[in-house]
Structure 1
Amino acid sequence: MKMQTAFIKPIIFTLFWGIACLMPFAVLANPRSIYVAKSGNDKNSGNASSPVLTITKAESIALPGDRIIIYKGTYREMVIFHKGGSPGAAISYSASPGEEVIIKGSERVRTWVKAHGRTWRATINDDFFNGTNPFKEWINRDSSYRHLGEVYLDNKLLNEQKMKGDVERVIYSWFTSQENGKTIITANFGANDPNQKLTEINVRPSAFAAEKPGISFIVIDGLKIAQIASAPAFVNGVQPGAINANGGTHWVIKNCSLSYCKSVAISIGQTGHDYPGSSPGNPEYRDLSQDISTVGHDTITHNHISYCGQAGIFGLLHGTQSIIADNLIEDINSNNDFPGNEIAGIRLALAVDVLISHNLIRRVHGTGYGIYLGPLFQGARISRNVITETSQSAIYLYNSHGPALFDNNIISGPGKSTGEGVKMISAEGNVFVQNLFYDCAFINQKVPGRTFATSNFLPHSLVIKQTIPALAMDDRWYSNVFVKSGLDKLNNDPDCLADYNAYIQGALPTAWGDKQSHTIAANAGFALINTANSAKLMLDLKAIPKVTCPVLSPEYIGFFALSKQYLEYSNGKAITINEDFKHKPKDALSGFPGPFYQYWATSDNNQTLLFAY
């Protein structure tokens, strides 16, 4: 078909993730405010003129509806929640407006002794640590030398060495050993005297953690959390994190910064376990709650998560009916410490009706993914996200019957030659509409080997409807833009449909669908340019054809018979996809595939759009 062009010169979009204040979690009648300050005393009452010293003390006297307001300063403590709020009366922990509040999982070390050459030595007793000594704990089961503990100089991470002798020659490095029941750290700080600088080591596994499952209605707002040494998390095991909800519900985590958290930044899951010998009569996760009102419903928004080893956000079950939106997640597993497949910007399992929207996820290293869902994510919606620079697939979907909706995303894959991009393994009923995929290979296969018993649920519930194998089937691709890599490698699996797409710059369509799609050889001029907290999207519009697509209504996309539902909101209302990345409604002038319906030129035929929150 003849290509219709719009403009000649490139366009530029700026996609901006910032921190902004949201409406309070609940409107409360005469809530009590408890104040925390570095000048306070834990014997004080906690009012504005008599603040307490620690957040832990404030937690001990807080009641549902109370607001804990924290004044500026660095707080070195792990706050254990022994109680939560109640509907309409959450307990909130907030930074005082305009003030910087830092929660650190480290302690300063000022007892360094010069060893030889450029190395220093610190001898540390076990009682210096908060229960668990991270310098005795390996980072993973197969590690030969990497520990959970870290050493910091002026808030910068030093590099652990495998051999003590390497520390002398490698500036800003360290090595640890155990001698006579004490932890010995040998470090090279270059020309710096560590006793005169800010030198810190990890001692705590969390900044905030629920004592037990079921502690709910907690708000954490505007805090900076850093240098936490939590252990690795496993979907079928324990799930610690710098913030650890431990199976609580209705948590709100917003406007926070989490950095240098060894494993997971925010864990919203609950402890899981393996299910050996699972079968249709005994499916995985059969022993978890089937009352959807008692799980999840968390809101994680406007947070900046960086330099965390395993995942930005992680959890089993409690992603259900939660909202994860407007977060910047970057530099995950940057030291490539973590092996295995539990590494991702966002990693959720059993996440029914989760909404993951408008997050910027970039630079996920090693075996890490951008978003990893599964098993079980029926009713999930992944919308308006930007994912780039992942070593493995930007999206990994595993073992679910669906349906799930992926709309208006901008995905830059690791390259067709890697075989990674969007990977679906025994994940059926996935609908991809109005996305832009750059250099993304698509994989759609069943789990090799034995057949898994995969449950699906009554719509918008956790009540198991039936348990049968999930296959590579019942997927749809409508009105997407594919650059460099398309869908030509996909088999004609049962009930899979593709049409009204644009394939550009070497991307090729399916052999079994795409009757109304366009294939264009031109260079798209695609680039995602990263800045501190944004990504600029560059496209050459002369390469993008107009493709008139029908309204993507429930009737057009179709009914998913196995799950007995259309694509639906969590309240059961069917979804019509009639807005683009910018929330612009579809109208008579809308004709472009991908995440933007229209483009407007400035005087020089360039465009810059700023999305600020």
Structure 2
Amino acid sequence: MEYHVAKNGSDQSQGNEQAPFLTINKAAAIAAAGDTVIIHEGVYREWVKPKYKGLSNKRRITYEAAEGENAVIKGSEHIKDWTQVQGNVWKATLPNALFGDYNPYALEVSGDWLVTVEETKHLGDVYLNGMSFYEVSCFEQLLHPEVKTEILDHWTRQIVPVHNQEQTKYVWFAEVNTDTTSIYANFQGADPNRELVEINVRKSCFYPQETGIDYITVRGLEMAQAATPWAPPTANQPGLLGVNWSKGWIIENNIIHDAKCSAISIGKEATTGNNYSTVRKDKPGYQYQLEAVFSAERNGWCKEKIGSHIIRNNTIYDCGQNGIVGHMGGVFSEIHHNHIYNIALKREFYGHEIAGIKLHAAIDVQIYHNRIHDCSLGLWSDWQTQGTRISKNIFYRNNRDLFVEVSHGPYIVDNNILASEYALDNVSQGGAYINNLICGKMIHRKELNRSTQYHLPHSTKIAGFAIVYGGDDRFYNNIFIGADSLEGVGTSHYKNYTTSLEEYIENVHQKPGDVETFNLVEQPVYINHNAYFAGAEPFEKEKDMLSAKSFQPNFSLIEKGENVYLSCELPDNFDGFPGEVHSTATLARVRIVDAEFENPDGSEVILDTDLLDRQRAEKSPVGPVRELKKGKNYIKIW
């Protein structure tokens, strides 16, 4: 069955092409397995709540924009009745009935792992011709808004420039009473009754209210301006668009922007815990997160019921917390060919769950061919990064590119470009870093105070717990480019680590004991055949490397329209330093998890294609692009 929705339709009509429905929700209330809902040109101000699920990959329910038409779903309302109060400040008074039981101007950004900055913020927002405003805490601040030029990045502790300085003088403030909500805003000379002024009023744009709404396809739509709440891994994680603890969604070819917190959610639901650390205050969030994993497993968290989503070819930008977020609900998924940028750059609030992509328990998740830039953090894979492959992505101009935290592997990071000044936080073990180009600061750190779960291979079944001893990592065929202003570029931070499992075991058992003896010996690392330039430092025991500390590759990424080019110079001896193709057979198994590096189906993984999916020869240049050569290089990479 094919249903049509159009702005000239009626929900009392038949819903066909000649007599379309007016609202998408009318179609969503009746569309069943195998049906398609075609959405025609126009702006639909509603929260679409699919009622029925598809039954398999072949019997999906598909929601898609009509071919060649711009269909937009907004979580906002157009507000036209503004009264000038003083100078550039205007006021709109709205009935609370407009918001129902979810008033974003009364609800605070709150939850586990949120670190408030300056004053409390709310889930509401104001938009002038699509531009998001900043919230202030009192009316007086509306009259003379401060233009911010730089701000402290609370994670890196560095002063960074404000993304859009002009935007910071557009500010709003709200007063919520029993029956009404008054919104005040400084429009900087614009007349809000003549311009397009919108306020977000709904939690989501497309998100089922019930869990288990499987096999849905969402294609070709634009979605924007939802009052999504803070989404930590210990809470319900609704997004502007999301799957709500289900299986088999395809989210493709969409434009998604201006979520107050998270854009696309493939995350946790509330029954396994909902901000208990913040609400109850009796245990740390860490403890509740441990409990959430066990609770989910008892409630049927498994490959047969949850995950296996595909998120591809989307453009995601201007969101306050995440482009894509999820804890446990995204297992066995693929995230590829997405363009994600301008995430968490407003910095109205700060917490430990912010990134272009922020996933917990990314078991067997394949993240590849994404372009992630101008984000507070590019990709953060946290807890249970196992079977995860981060491949052929381009990271640049992020405050940090990649963070892998308290995980035990096996996970693979291959053929990526990490081009920001802060490239990598490695607070994990059991990783394989192959054929990457890394141009920024690297941090390697143990975590001896938090044990986290690991699983049976390719399964959600919990196999055990471990702390992060550091090490058990593999670095082959990477190019490291340093700079005078950067620290830790290269692999020298593994100084004094053992280089084989046999050496490690021998050292551990030189003294009698159990747990305490394992804490005293550095885990083995497998590091060979990397190239180090411009001050990057190699591991002291690396046997076969190309090191030219004084050579300056003059590396840069150049944007030309929608294209991105890699520009760099390489020394004359670069061509004589080819690397071998790595695979399951060449990568030592992970110690703690006792598992191999494999594909999600358990087959051998072979890293024989480059960033551009071109086949590598048995011996090909190190780094992510097979055509890198001595001298000048200028290569289109996106």
Match of 1:475 among 473, 476, 498: 473
CA 1:254/1:130 → structure 2, altered by over 3 Å: closer, same or farther?
A: farther
What is the CA-CA distance between 1:184 and the residue it aligns to?
Answer: 1.4
Mapped contact 1:473–1:495 kept (Cα < 8 A): yes
**Given residue 554 of structure 2, which amino acid in structure 1 is its aligned partner?**
G
CA 1:344/1:193 → structure 2, altered by over 3 Å: closer, same or farther?
A: same
Mapped contact 2:570–2:629 kept (Cα < 8 A): no
DSSP-derived class of the 1:196 partner: coil
What is the CA-CA distance between 1:440 and the residue it aligns to?
Answer: 2.8
What is the CA-CA distance between 1:585 and the residue it aligns to?
Answer: 1.6
Mapped contact 2:447–2:467 kept (Cα < 8 A): no
Which residue is equivalent to 2:210? 212
Which residue is equivalent to 1:328? 339
Which residue is equivalent to 1:488? 492
Which residue is equivalent to 1:314? 325
**Given residue 154 of structure 1, which amino acid in structure 2 is its aligned partner?**
N
Between 373-382 and 560-569, the greater mean CA deviation after superposition: 560-569
How far apart in 2 are the matches of 1:159 and 1:455? 39
Residue pairs, 1:233-252, within 5 angstroms: 233-252=231-250
Which residue is equivalent to 2:187? 189
Which residue is equivalent to 2:32? 63
Which residue is equivalent to 1:265? 263
What per-residue deviation string (whole Å, max 9, x for no partner) do you get for residues 149-203 of structure 1? 1111111222322331232234632222234542111222233221122111110
2:420 aligned with 1:423, yes or no? no
**Given residue 441 of structure 2, which amino acid in structure 1 is its aligned partner?**
C
How far apart in 1 are the matches of 2:573 and 2:197? 53
Match of 1:404 among 399, 411, 415: 411
Match of 1:230 among 228, 231, 234: 228
What is the CA-CA distance between 1:350 and the residue it aligns to?
Answer: 1.1
How far apart in 2 are the matches of 1:283 and 1:236? 9
2:596 aligned with 1:566, yes or no? yes
Which residue is equivalent to 1:576? 606
Between 323-332 and 180-189, the greater mean CA deviation after superposition: 180-189
CA 1:130/1:324 → structure 2, altered by over 3 Å: closer, same or farther?
A: farther
- The two structures have a TM-score, normalised by structure 2, of 0.84
Between 342-351 and 108-117, the greater mean CA deviation after superposition: 108-117
How far apart in 1 are the matches of 2:122 and 2:463? 44
Between 217-226 and 185-194, the greater mean CA deviation after superposition: 185-194
What is the CA-CA distance between 1:374 and the residue it aligns to?
Answer: 1.8
**Given residue 395 of structure 2, which amino acid in structure 1 is its aligned partner?**
I
Which residue is equivalent to 2:91? 121
Residue pairs, 1:206-605, within 5 angstroms: 206-271=204-269, 272-273=272-273, 285-289=293-297, 291-365=302-376, 369-391=377-399, 393-415=400-422, 421-425=423-427, 427-443=428-444, 445-448=445-448, 450=449, 452-484=450-482, 485-491=489-495, 492=497, 493-542=522-571, 545-546=574-575, 547-587=577-617, 590-599=619-628
Off by >6 Å, runs of 4+ in structure 1 = none
**Given residue 73 of structure 2, which amino acid in structure 1 is its aligned partner?**
I
What per-residue deviation string (whole Å, max 9, x for no partner) do you get for residues 446-490 of structure 1? 225x3x333222211112223333321210100000000212223
What is the CA-CA distance between 1:598 and the residue it aligns to?
Answer: 2.2
What is the CA-CA distance between 1:503 and the residue it aligns to?
Answer: 0.2
Mapped contact 2:566–2:634 kept (Cα < 8 A): no
**Given residue 73 of structure 1, which amino acid in structure 2 is its aligned partner?**
G
DSSP-derived class of the 1:115 partner: strand
Match of 1:50 among 8, 19, 28: 19
Mapped contact 1:373–1:396 kept (Cα < 8 A): yes
DSSP-derived class of the 1:591 partner: strand
Between 269-278 and 250-259, the greater mean CA deviation after superposition: 269-278
Residue pairs, 1:40-119, within 5 angstroms: 40-87=9-56, 88-119=58-89
How far apart in 2 are the matches of 1:560 and 1:179? 58
Between 473-482 and 536-545, the greater mean CA deviation after superposition: 536-545
Which residue is equivalent to 2:162? none
How far apart in 2 are the matches of 1:473 and 1:522? 29
CA 1:544/1:126 → structure 2, altered by over 3 Å: closer, same or farther?
A: farther
**Unaligned 5+ residue runs, structure 1?**
1-31, 416-420
DSSP-derived class of the 1:209 partner: coil
2:134 aligned with 1:159, yes or no? yes
Larger RCO (CA within 8 A; separation ≥ 6)? 1
What per-residue deviation string (whole Å, max 9, x for no partner) do you get for residues 189-232 of structure 1? 23322112211111011001111221110110000011111111
- The two structures have a TM-score, normalised by structure 1, of 0.87
**Given residue 299 of structure 1, which amino acid in structure 2 is its aligned partner?**
I
Mapped contact 2:359–2:380 kept (Cα < 8 A): yes
DSSP-derived class of the 2:29 partner: helix
Which residue is equivalent to 1:22? none
What per-residue deviation string (whole Å, max 9, x for no partner) do you get for residues 422-466 of structure 1? 1122x21100000000023131x2225x3x333222211112223
**Unaligned 5+ residue runs, structure 2?**
146-168, 278-282, 483-488, 498-521
CA 1:294/1:470 → structure 2, altered by over 3 Å: closer, same or farther?
A: farther
What is the CA-CA distance between 1:413 and the residue it aligns to?
Answer: 3.0
What per-residue deviation string (whole Å, max 9, x for no partner) do you get for residues 537-596 of structure 1? 2111347723232331322212235434321111100112111112222226x5321001
How far apart in 1 are the matches of 2:291 and 2:606? 33
Mapped contact 2:469–2:523 kept (Cα < 8 A): no
Aligned residues between the structures: 562
How far apart in 1 are the matches of 2:558 and 2:578? 30
Q: Percent identity?
A: 31
How far apart in 2 are the matches of 1:593 and 1:250? 37
What per-residue deviation string (whole Å, max 9, x for no partner) do you get for residues 110-159 of structure 1? 11112122221111111111431111122246362422111111112223
How far apart in 1 are the matches of 2:65 and 2:370? 23
Mapped contact 1:305–1:312 kept (Cα < 8 A): yes
Between 498-507 and 178-187, the greater mean CA deviation after superposition: 178-187
DSSP-derived class of the 2:421 partner: coil
Between 489-498 and 60-69, the greater mean CA deviation after superposition: 489-498
CA 1:428/1:167 → structure 2, altered by over 3 Å: closer, same or farther?
A: same
Mapped contact 2:268–2:327 kept (Cα < 8 A): yes
**Given residue 473 of structure 1, which amino acid in structure 2 is its aligned partner?**
G
Mapped contact 1:210–1:248 kept (Cα < 8 A): no
How far apart in 2 are the matches of 1:599 and 1:222? 36
How far apart in 2 are the matches of 1:543 and 1:263? 48
